Homo-oligomer: A and B are copies of this chain.
Amino acid sequence: MSIEYCHNTLRSRSRFQPDGGHRCYLPKGHEGQCDEFPFLHHLERIAPKVAKKIVRDAIMTTGASWKSDDAGPNRIRRWAMLKSDEELASLGIRMPDLSPVIVAKLRDKAASYDSCMSVAQKLTALVYGMKHAPAAPPDVRAYLAALFGSFAPNSTKCQICLQTLDYQLFDQARRGRAEIETAHLNPRLHTAENTGFAHRACNIAQGNKTITEFYEWIATILERAGYSIVRPS
């Protein structure tokens, strides 16, 4: 499933333009103004925090508590991390001055602009599929269904524990961190297929393991603790 996009280049003030610039994600031949996030305006209106989270998690590297001198930029556009050290230096980011750990962390988050936009669309669809989520307006529903198929209400699950996610968890936060996080089945792959939502505790437990590694890891823990495990075939 896909949409044939307009893909006109949009003006942007950002220092970190994707190759080819920001683009219009309305269908080709659309009426009215070009628009990068036509699928997000409903959430922007009724749940601005959720809409901001989708954009941030889709296009920016995740922020860490980087307080030291060799800390990198707290959040940066993921496609900037596809550029060479030389290109980044010309944009004011001096990678060689950062610690190797920070560099690895930043480079791990690299993703193309196209991938980031697909992730934003996927996360939006998943939000509307959560329990207690608002209903999508018909145009947004049609747009997302053209990309991901029509989604049933209450169909969005935590990618890790596989329980239904409740939209109301977006409003709950502990120590300033939301109880729902964007999660990756493989932490080093920022694509729509690989990206979804998870409970914060589940995402923390998975850590930097792939979901397959995580399941196998906890299965062996349980075996050592005296559980008998039969793996799915």
Interchain CA distance A149-B207 in the complex, whole Å? 36
- Interface stretch, picked from A22-30, A109-117, A216-224, is A216-224
Most B CB atoms within 10 A — which of A202, A205, A220, A224? A205
Which B residues lie within 8 Å of A161 (CB)?
A: 220-221, 224
In the bound complex, do residue A231 and residue B227 qualify as a contact, i.e. CB atoms below 8 Å apart?
A: yes
Interchain CA distance A222-B219 in the complex, whole Å? 7
Tally of contact residues, A, Cβ under 8 A? 29
A204 within 8 A of B: yes
> A125-158 CB contact bits vs B (8 Å, 1 = yes)?
0000000000000000000000000000000000
Interchain CA distance A229-B226 in the complex, whole Å? 11
In the bound complex, do residue A221 and residue B67 qualify as a contact, i.e. CB atoms below 8 Å apart?
A: no
Which B residues lie within 8 Å of A225 (CB)?
A: 162, 215, 232
Which B residues lie within 8 Å of A220 (CB)?
A: 161
Interchain CA distance A201-B224 in the complex, whole Å? 17
Which B residues lie within 8 Å of A201 (CB)?
A: 207
Which B residues lie within 8 Å of A65 (CB)?
A: 65
Which B residues lie within 8 Å of A160 (CB)?
A: 221
Interchain CA distance A161-B67 in the complex, whole Å? 32
A172 within 8 A of B: no
Which B residues lie within 8 Å of A9 (CB)?
A: none
Q: How far is the CB of A71 from chain B (nearest CB, A)?
A: 11
| In the complex with contacts A204-B207, A205-B205, A218-B218, A224-B101 CB distance below 8 A | no
14 contacts between A and B (CB under 8 A): A65-B65, A101-B174, A162-B224, A162-B225, A201-B207, A204-B207, A205-B207, A205-B218, A215-B222, A215-B227, A218-B221, A225-B232, A227-B230, A227-B232
Report, nearest first, the 8 A-B pairs whose CB atoms are least far apart: A226-B232, A228-B230, A205-B205, A218-B218, A162-B224, A161-B221, A65-B65, A201-B207
